[in-house]
Amino acid sequence: MNCEEFEREFANLEHLSDDSAALEAHRASCRSCAGLVSDVKFITAEARQMTSSSEPSGRVWRQIHSELQKSGLIKEPRQTVFAPAPAFGWFPRMSMGLAYAAVFVIALGVVYIYSILAPRVATPALPQPPNPPFAQVFEKIPPQQRSTYVNHLNQVDASIEQLKAFLAAHPEDPFARQELFTTYQQKSRLWEDLVRWHDFSESTAPPAIPEAIPASSQP
Amino acid sequence: MNPSPEVPDSREANAIEEAKKGSAAAFEYLYEKHKRRVYSLCLRMTGDTAEAEDLTQEAFLQMFRKIGTFRGESAFSTWLHRLAVNLVLMRLRKKNVLTSSLDEAQGQDPGENRVREYGAADVVLTGAVDRVTLERAIEALPAGYRTIFHLHDVEGYEHKEIAGMIGCSVGNSKSQLHKARMKLRELLQMRPTGPSESEAETEKEQK
Ligand SMILES: [Zn+2]
């Protein structure tokens, strides 16, 4: 068997482990073909272990959710952003004592870690929320679709108000600041979706998403 | 396909029943649990994030719309996975990426495009090739090769299944896979080999 025959037969294998005696004999005497086989084995072994590290943006779920709502597959109102729907609807069915104990222990851990890590510095001013002209665009879309957007916007705005009030009382809380930033992003994305899915010739450009909450070291 | 053994998941079964009744949280649980696998499948096969998101959305929507008919004989993940693969293949077919690259390949002599010179010992790949480098190399494969490599070597489909899904012969699927692997090997052997070499290049340029 020469190298060309080897490669043709190797390419025709159903599984790499189906190696024939002839293939093995050639491999034993040919470094080039042995290298080819070992590389293919290496590549396929790595490929099978490739995990899914990347994930789709939050937009995908929002679209799915809104489609499910439109088609009536979801039969309950969406929960507010600030109090997100528990990811596990069956969580309350756990022994409640156990659930509360777990939450308490986690909360203690978070408080402890935060007490170690939190920098003791001045709190920066809050950025302003994005404020695109929703009302103008709402006028131009069909009423059935409008109500979904209006509800969503009201929920996001309510969350922003809640978080601002909370931050006024607890200005150094980094979790609430992050949450506020997230709701700003949600509002910006809501606007982007609105503009993207409804082609308005005279519509304004989507607002810029705030870069980030200023680092706590800023005055 | 040789899926990893499915452990019966009572929480998932519970979520499916809740989703049938219209629970948003249950739909969200199912989405959260499977989104990465579906998205990465779509991303690796299309090589385009926007398209991958679009296909992920479509796969979940189709799945959720049919959830009322799901009886649990087959695993939810297998069903979803198959659906996603079909959607991706449909999309690639529509864009003619798949058929054109397979047609080209069909007319080719299997010895063409050979990157290997017989007799010469190649640089053998080692554990130094990390996952990210491999992912990039897979992304750089022509669409037809990437599809077959992904289906066979990453997802574990058999050639017979792939031939059925794509509409080619088993022999064609095998030869495409071999070419994909050879192309990958070539790409991985050409990978940049660390800072020392690039530093030397810069020095040379400066002189
Ligand atoms: Zn040889």
Per-residue pLDDT of chain B (207 residues; tens, 9 = 90+): 544 445 557 888 899 999 999 999 999 999 999 999 899 889 888 888 899 999 999 999 999 999 998 887 668 888 898 899 999 989 888 876 665 555 444 444 444 444 556 655 555 666 567 777 888 888 888 888 999 999 999 888 899 989 988 888 999 999 999 999 999 999 888 654 444 344 444 444 444
Q: Would residue A61 count as lying in a domain?
A: no
Asked if residue A198 and residue A148 are part of one domain, the reply reads: yes
Region A56-63: mean pLDDT is: 94
Q: Is the pLDDT of residue A146 over 70?
A: yes
From the CA of B161, how far away is ligand 1's center (Å)?
31
- For residues A112 and A163, membership in a common domain is answered with no
Task: Please name the residue ranges forming H helices in chain B.
Answer: 10-20, 24-46, 49-65, 76-94, 97-106, 131-139, 143-149, 159-166, 170-189, 195-206
pLDDT on residue B5:
44
Query: Taking the C-alpha atoms of A106, A112, A114 and A116 in order, what is their torsion angle to the nearest 10 degrees?
Result: -150
* Residue B36 Cα, gap to closest chain A Cα (Å): 5
pLDDT at residue A19, as a whole number: 83
| Chain A nearest-CA residue for B187 | A43
- The residue that leads in pLDDT, B55 or A115, is B55
Across the interface, whether the CB atoms of A56 and B56 are under 8 A apart is answered yes
Distance CA A172, CA A153 (A): 27
Q: Is residue A141 part of a domain?
A: yes
Based on the fold, state whether residues A152 and A218 are members of the same structural domain.
yes
Q: Are residues A115 and A135 in the same domain?
A: no
Q: Residue B173 contacts by C-beta under 8 Å, 6 or more apart in sequence?
A: B148, B152, B159, B162, B163, B166
Residue A61, token pair as written in the block: 């779920």
> Which spans in B95-123 are helix H?
97-106
Can you tell me the distance from the alpha carbon of B31 to that of B38, in angstroms, rounded to the nearest whole number? 10
> pLDDT category, A194, cuts 50, 70, 90?
confident
Within 10 Å of residue B165's Cβ, how many Cβ atoms? Answer: 18
Q: Do B24 and A8 touch (CB under 8 A)?
A: no
Claim to verify: residue A169 and residue A113 sit in the same structural domain: no
**Distance (Å, rounded) from C-alpha B42 to C-alpha B39?**
5
Residues A137 and A208 in one domain: yes
Residue B43, min C-alpha distance to chain A (Å) = 9
Q: How many CB atoms lie within 10 A of CB B206?
A: 6
Say what the alpha-carbon torsion angle A37, A41, A47, A50 is, to the nearest 10 degrees: -150
Q: Is B56 on the interface with A (CB under 8 A)?
A: yes
Q: Which of A71, A73, A79, A189 to mutate to test the interface with B (most CBs of B within 10 A)?
A: A73
Whether residue A62 lies inside any domain: the answer is no
Q: Are residues B27 and A65, on separate chains, in Cβ contact within 8 Å?
A: yes
Tell me, yes or no, whether A144 and A95 share the same domain.
no
Chain A window 13-42: which residues touch B at a Cβ cutoff of 8 Å?
Answer: 13-14, 31-32, 35-36, 38-40, 42
**CA within 13 Å, CB half, A94:** 13
> Is the same domain home to A18 and A105?
no
Q: Which of A150, A128, A6 is nearest to B119 (CA)?
A: A6
Q: Is the pLDDT of residue A183 over 90?
A: no
Within a domain: residue A25? yes
B20 to chain A, any CB pair closer than 8 A? The answer is no
* Cβ contacts of A66 on chain B, cutoff 8 Å: none
- Domain assignment of residue A96, given as a range: 90-119
Within-domain flag for A63: no
Task: Report the range of poorest mean pLDDT among A5-9, A148-152, A175-179, B79-83.
Answer: A175-179
Which of A26, A38, A61, A151 to mutate against chain B (most B CBs within 10 Å)?
A61
Please report whether residue A176 resides in a domain. Answer: yes
SS3 assignment for chain A = CCHHHHHHHHHCCCCHHHCCHHHHHHHHHCHHHHHHHHHHHHHHHHHHCCCCCCCCCHHHHHHHHHHHHHCCCCCCCCCCCCCCCCCCCCHHHCCHHHHHHHHHHHHHHHHHHHHHHCCCCCCCCCCCCCCCCHHHHHCCCCHHHHHHHHHHHHHHHHHHHHHHHHHHHCCCCHHHHHHHHHHHHHHHHHHHHHHHHCCCCCCCCCCCCCCCCCCCCCC
Is there a domain that residue A75 lies in? no
pLDDT of residue A142: 74
Range among A31-45, A198-212, B131-145 rated most confident: A31-45
What does the alpha-carbon distance between residue B93 and residue B95 come to, in Å, rounded to a whole number?
Answer: 5
DSSP sequence for B25-52: HHHHHHHHHHHHHHHHHHHHHH--HHHH
Q: pLDDT value at position A36?
A: 92
Please tell me the distance from the alpha carbon of residue B180 to that of residue A41, in angstroms, as a whole number.
Answer: 13
Cα of A20 from ligand 1 centre, angstroms? 14
Average pLDDT of chain A is: 72
Check pLDDT > 90 for residue A67: yes
Q: Check whether A188 has a pLDDT greater than 90.
A: no
Same domain, A104 and A191: no
Q: How many domains does chain A have?
A: 3
Question: Percent of chain A, pLDDT > 90?
Answer: 24
Q: Is residue A79 part of a domain?
A: no
Out of A43, A54, A85, closest to residue B28 by CB: A85
Q: How far, rounded to the nearest angstrom, does the alpha carbon of residue A150 sit from its chain's CA centroid?
A: 23
Same domain for A216 and A152: yes
Whether A113 and A173 map to the same domain: the answer is no
Q: Sketch out chain B's domains with CATH numbers.
A: 9-95 (1.10.1740.10), 98-107+119-192 (1.10.10.10)
Chain A neighbours among B 91-130 (CB < 8 Å)? 110-111, 116, 118-122, 124-127, 129
Q: Report the alpha-carbon distance of residue A210 to residue A128 in Å, rounded.
A: 8
- The answer for residues whose C-beta is within 8 angstroms of residue A122's C-beta and 6 or more apart is A216, A219
How many inter-chain contacts (A to B, CB under 8 Å) are there? 158
Query: Are residues A113 and A157 located together in one domain of the fold?
Result: no
> Looking at residue B117, what is its pLDDT?
61
Residues 66-85 (A) with a CB less than 8 A from some CB of B = 67-68, 71-76, 78-79, 85
- Does the model's ipTM exceed the 0.85 cut? no
In this model, does residue A92 exceed pLDDT 50? no
Q: Contact at 8 Å (CB) between A56 and B53? A: yes
B174/A38 touch (CB, cutoff 8 Å), yes or no: no
